[in-house]
């Protein structure tokens, strides 16, 4: 079979630890034999980030802006322990944070569903994609502890010298605590656009909720901006595509999510997204089966796995021990990038290859061949389950893929 040809290169962001090991095996076994792979390679491994004072992360984000589609391996976000371990010149910021800031993107996370790994919620037969507004609110708040009686106020001093606005927060007679937080209309609007675009792109309804009955101005602002963006920019396109935008209260939406069959995008305010994304990942069965895509408002895509570098497995690997690390989310990062690149470059063979790579991966698990994390939670007949190591799993997928292409 002739290898599939690409037009535009993918931006390839290599990473750290166990996922870096899987990255190479995936390329050797599942990509290079089938695709004449064109990438612009950026090594986001911690060692090279340190050598370049993290410039490589910025360069990779700029390249993503230029080409439009990137695929990223999990990377270490340094903490004190990592600074010592890698003898770093500085405690660099999270690469994901840096890339997200440059692309002004929103992260969408979705589970990969396979038979035999059942969600805790039985009626979830389709994936629920969650999007978190990663700006402001309690994550950029200011707080004050109050230790004696006194009045606390919210004060706005206009830059143009016009009248100061003030309102009492609480008149304390005893110790307590206060908090001030903010958001920007431009950030909310850009989040609304990212979610509504992604809904159109993936032909799924978009659900959004806040607590506007209680927080009439703050959450009311989120509700109004979403509605305005929908009405003025998306309503016609949604009607034509047969999908809907739906707004309700956060408590009502939680109840509806649990009762639903899935298959929609759940747009969340920052705190709701923080909490609910972990709930969804666990309820769908495994963090190792969660994909993640960063989408910018102007339609730039960066695909990755939602999990980290699986450090514990890497240390076993370094000692020469066998690992059984799940590569599914990393494989789906590649397949997602190929499908999007193929769509943009009008290369149906590349789109088809991405789809087949996903089908071959799912078939492998549904045939009972799986890594330890899945073998531990599968509802499949134990006699039919074959627990394999990291490399055997990818080779089993290759065998299925060869039969399909």
Q: Taking CB within 5 to 8 Å according to partner kind, which of Mg ion, ligand NAP, none is near residue 287?
A: ligand NAP
Q: Please identify, among the stretches 13-21, 169-177, 268-276, 287-295, the one whose residues bind Mg ion according to the rule CB under 5 A.
A: 268-276
Helix (H, G, I), strand (E, B) or coil at 294: strand
Q: Taking CB within 5 to 8 Å according to partner kind, which of ligand NAP, Mg ion, none is near residue 39?
A: none
- Our CB check for ligand NAP shows the closer of 14 and 373 to be 373
201 forms part of the interface with Mg ion (CB under 5 A): no
Question: Which of 389, 321, 398 is CA-nearest to residue 360?
Answer: 398
Give residues in contact with ligand NAP (CB under 6 A). Answer: 74-77, 96, 287-288, 304, 307-312, 325-326, 373
Count the helix, strand and coil residues of the chain and give each as a percent rounded to the nearest 5.
45, 20, 30
278 forms part of the interface with Mg ion (CB under 5 A): yes
Q: Please identify, among the stretches 16-24, 215-223, 277-285, 349-357, the one whose residues bind Mg ion according to the rule CB under 5 A.
A: 277-285
Q: Taking CB within 5 to 8 Å according to partner kind, which of Mg ion, ligand NAP, none is near residue 309?
A: ligand NAP
Helix (H, G, I), strand (E, B) or coil at 13: strand
Task: In angstroms, give the least distance from the CB of 76 to ligand NAP.
Answer: 4
28 forms part of the interface with Mg ion (CB under 5 A): no
- Our CB check for Mg ion shows the closer of 62 and 274 to be 274
R_g (Cα) of the chain, nearest Å: 23
- Our CB check for ligand NAP shows the closer of 72 and 341 to be 72
- Our CB check for ligand NAP shows the closer of 120 and 246 to be 120
Judge contact between 93 and 50, C-beta under 8 A. Answer: no
The two tokens of residue 140 are 């950029």
- Our CB check for ligand NAP shows the closer of 43 and 373 to be 373
Count, residues in the chain: 405
Q: Taking CB within 5 to 8 Å according to partner kind, which of Mg ion, ligand NAP, none is near residue 278?
A: Mg ion
Q: What is the DSSP string of 137-206?
A: GGGG-EEEEE-SSEEEEEEE--TT----EEEEEEEESS-EEEEE----HHHHHHHHHHHHHHHHHHT-EE
Task: In angstroms, give the least distance from the CB of 289 to ligand NAP.
Answer: 9
Judge contact between 188 and 225, C-beta under 8 A. Answer: yes
Residue choice 40, 224, 274, 366 for contact with Mg ion (CB under 5 A): 274
* H/E segment holding residue 266: strand 264-268
Q: Taking CB within 5 to 8 Å according to partner kind, which of Mg ion, ligand NAP, none is near residue 390?
A: none
On the 0-12 / 13-18 / 19+ scale of CB atoms within 10 A, 277 is: buried
- Our CB check for ligand NAP shows the closer of 183 and 270 to be 270
- Our CB check for ligand NAP shows the closer of 260 and 327 to be 327
Q: Taking CB within 5 to 8 Å according to partner kind, which of Mg ion, ligand NAP, none is near residue 274?
A: Mg ion
282 forms part of the interface with Mg ion (CB under 5 A): no
The two tokens of residue 297 are 């408002």
Q: Residue 209's beta-bridge partner residues?
A: 248
Task: In angstroms, give the least distance from the CB of 201 to Mg ion.
Answer: 25
Task: In angstroms, give the least distance from the CB of 24 to Mg ion.
Answer: 30
Task: Specify the DSSP class assigned to residue 30.
Answer: I
Task: In angstroms, give the least distance from the CB of 37 to Mg ion.
Answer: 34
Q: Taking CB within 5 to 8 Å according to partner kind, which of Mg ion, ligand NAP, none is near residue 96?
A: ligand NAP
Question: Which of 42, 1, 38, 10 is CA-nearest to residue 340?
Answer: 10
> What gap in Å lies between CA 109 and CA 51, rounded to an integer?
31
Task: In angstroms, give the least distance from the CB of 285 to Mg ion.
Answer: 17
> What gap in Å lies between CA 304 and CA 309, rounded to an integer?
12
Task: In angstroms, give the least distance from the CB of 354 to ligand NAP.
Answer: 20
Residues contributing to the site for Mg ion (CB under 5 A): 274, 278
């Amino acid at each position: 079979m002739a290898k599939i040809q690409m037009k535009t290169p993918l931006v390839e962001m290599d990473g750290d630890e166990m996922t870096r090991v899987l990255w190479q095996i995936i390329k050797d076994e599942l990509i290079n034999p089938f695709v004449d792979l064109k990438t612009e390679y950026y090594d986001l491994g911690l060692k090279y980030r340190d050598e370049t004072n993290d410039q490589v992360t910025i360069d990779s984000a700029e390249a993503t802006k230029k080409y439009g589609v990137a695929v990223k391996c999990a990377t270490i976000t340094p903490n004190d322990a990592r600074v010592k371990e890698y003898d770093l010149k500085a405690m660099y910021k999270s690469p994901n944070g840096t890339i997200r800031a440059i692309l002004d993107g929103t992260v969408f996370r979705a589970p990969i569903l396979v038979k035999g790994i059942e969600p805790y919620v039985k009626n979830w037969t389709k994936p629920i994609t969650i999007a978190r507004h990663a700006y402001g609110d309690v994550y950029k708040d200011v707080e004050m502890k109050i230790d004696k009686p006194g009045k606390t106020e919210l004060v706005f001093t206009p830059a143009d010298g016009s009248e100061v606005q003030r309102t009492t927060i609480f008149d304390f007679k005893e110790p307590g605590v206060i908090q001030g937080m903010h958001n920007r209309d431009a950030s909310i609007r850009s989040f609304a656009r990212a979610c509504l675009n992604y809904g159109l792109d993936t032909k799924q309804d978009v659900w959004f909720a806040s607590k506007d009955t209680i927080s009439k101005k703050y959450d009311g602002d989120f509700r109004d901006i979403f509605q305005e963006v929908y009405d003025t920019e998306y309503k016609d396109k949604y009607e034509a595509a047969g999908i809907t935008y739906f707004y309700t209260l956060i408590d009502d939406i939680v109840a509806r999510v649990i009762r639903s069959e899935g298959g929609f995008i759940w747009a969340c305010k920052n705190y709701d997204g923080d909490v609910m994304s972990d709930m969804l990942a666990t309820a769908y069965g495994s963090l190792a089966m969660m994909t993640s895509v960063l989408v910018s408002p102007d339609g730039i895509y960066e695909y990755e796995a939602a999990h980290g570098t699986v450090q514990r497995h890497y240390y076993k690997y370094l000692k020469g021990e066998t690992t059984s690390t799940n590569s599914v989310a990393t494989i789906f990062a590649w397949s997602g990038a190929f499908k999007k690149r193929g769509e943009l470059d009008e290369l149906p063979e590349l789109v088809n290859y991405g789809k087949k790579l996903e089908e071959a991966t799912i078939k492998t698990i549904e045939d009972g061949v799986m890594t330890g994390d899945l073998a531990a939670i599968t509802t499949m007949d134990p006699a039919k389950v074959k627990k394999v190591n990291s490399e055997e799993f990818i080779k089993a997928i290759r065998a299925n893929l060869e039969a399909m292409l």
